[in-house]
Structure 1
């Protein structure tokens, strides 16, 4: 029987490897709207509410900055804002900074896409109400890539003041390039226990816990069989998978170890690498 991860499981913070910490801090504060929570040496924790870190920026010496789609690794991490007005304010700030932005209306959400100075992909998005999400005959969510109603977002944020990303902003999901979609499904669905919520053709898979549209996206758009990006390249360091209690954490750890995966202690939590060398930090939500 395929295991099922607890429905309260979600994504916590994301840690990125970057080339120049001061450059990245400037970008993430001025363009994205995060604040510095703590800075020590070559690392900074970034926050929206001034309390909880959402993003860690870790400068690595002589980091390679690779073109997009260079291998298995980060496609984008996704910052979820509380409402359309907040997304509209983000649009206004991106326009103010003259930043190139992609966009997509995914039916379940409205999203903006951009890259940081190290070509790390970023999505900033707002969900539509969950009761409006529709499923197809297979039980998968109906999602699309229509143009975003940018004028509507600007109207929703008219007369409001940009003060950065608001409290209530979280990391909504992460999306990765992988070398093999079946291997990704085996690890994330059959082993960790996420539910499949959608396919995008034969080259992308979306999975979640608890009926969300997706907590993790997986695709082979960088090419089938591509190797992981090098360790000394800018990109994903790890993302945090938050489980509700010790029992649920132990269940996931047991499945991983029984399948031959090694876990190491990392800042009071456990770190495992997926088949594509992407780090996953496992922790309990109540300990965060």
Structure 2
């Protein structure tokens, strides 16, 4: 699979922090069904890992948790990128054994399985097609579709050896429900330097750095003109973007300030222990943490 899209100098999603209603129930799900291990667990948080060292996902139990509602902004899904098509086949074999309800889609650039955790948080597990098979129009727009997934073809690559998420798995992208697509496009392109690489009419757009098919998806399907979910809502608490260097950090701070975004400083990124540069809130009330750590 293409691996350079989730390394510097690209800006990519390295970690997602989600809110759940019952921590132990969610930990059991993410271990048994998705294939994570627990790196660290407290009374109300769990840091999940693949390799026993790093984390791409953490959970936080919120009291009196409320389901995410239509008309609220936040998480649409986060997407776990497996290293190979064989890994995706092994994952499909695994979830068939557990009788897990899924959705599926062939996006031409990738092949994807969709699930929901016990709280309805959206999860995509996917593998990329080879980069040289992606179709670009004028070197700026990538061809993406949603067609029926050929599951038998993927299973033909599998070897029935699923032992959890394999090393090399990364957070491939995050897809957000936003209030206003124009405002979000301005924030992520002018403020953060992402490029629009695909549009689904006036309802969704996909952005990336380094000509990936997308590091972030943005849509208004369930959230047009919506408001941020309450603090005790299930769903997304924050996601982390890796920046390239200190110079880029200062450039992005300046760009965000110019478009009126607030810059917030922390000594340490919450709940997964990485040092970070700063954080901000996007126009839909979604918290983004920026770090210089990463590949």
Shared fold by TM > 0.5?
Answer: yes
Equivalent position of 1:213 in the other structure = 213
Task: Give distance in 1, aligned partners of 2:73 and 2:293.
Answer: 28
Q: How do 1:197-212 and structure 2 match up within 5 A?
A: 197-212=197-212
Offset of residue 183 of structure 1: 0.5
After superposition, give the CA deviation of every residue in 1:161-213 in whole Å (9 maximum; x if it has no partner). 11000000000100011111101111011221100100012200000001100
Q: Are 1:271 and 2:279 an aligned pair?
A: yes
Equivalent position of 2:151 in the other structure = 150
Q: Are 1:65 and 2:73 an aligned pair?
A: no
Task: Give distance in 2, aligned partners of 1:59 and 1:271.
Answer: 22
TM-score, normalization: structure 1?
Answer: 0.93
Q: How do 1:205-284 and structure 2 match up within 5 A?
A: 205-266=205-266, 267=268, 268-269=275-276, 270-284=278-292
Equivalent position of 1:13 in the other structure = 15
In structure 1, the gaps of 5 or more residues are: 1-5
Equivalent position of 2:5 in the other structure = none
8 Å contact kept, 2:9–2:244: no
Task: Give distance in 2, aligned partners of 1:99 and 1:32.
Answer: 11
Offset of residue 243 of structure 1: 0.8
Offset of residue 20 of structure 1: 0.7
8 Å contact kept, 1:245–1:285: no
After superposition, give the CA deviation of every residue in 1:77-106 in whole Å (9 maximum; x if it has no partner). 000000001111111111111111000000
8 Å contact kept, 1:19–1:65: no
Equivalent position of 1:83 in the other structure = 84
Offset of residue 59 of structure 1: 0.7
TM-score, normalization: structure 2?
Answer: 0.91
After superposition, give the CA deviation of every residue in 1:27-63 in whole Å (9 maximum; x if it has no partner). 0000000110111221111011111101010111111
CA RMSD of aligned residues (A): 1.5
Give the counterpart of 1:38 among 37, 40, 56.
40
Structure 1 runs, 4 residues or longer, greater than 3 Å off: none
Equivalent position of 2:167 in the other structure = 167
Equivalent position of 2:24 in the other structure = 22
8 Å contact kept, 1:192–1:255: yes
Q: What SS does the corresponding residue of 1:53 show, helix, strand or coil?
A: coil
**What number of residue pairs does the alignment pair up?**
280
Q: Which region of structure 1 is more displaced relative to structure 2, 212-221 or 251-260? A: 251-260
8 Å contact kept, 2:190–2:255: no
In structure 2, the gaps of 5 or more residues are: 1-7, 269-274
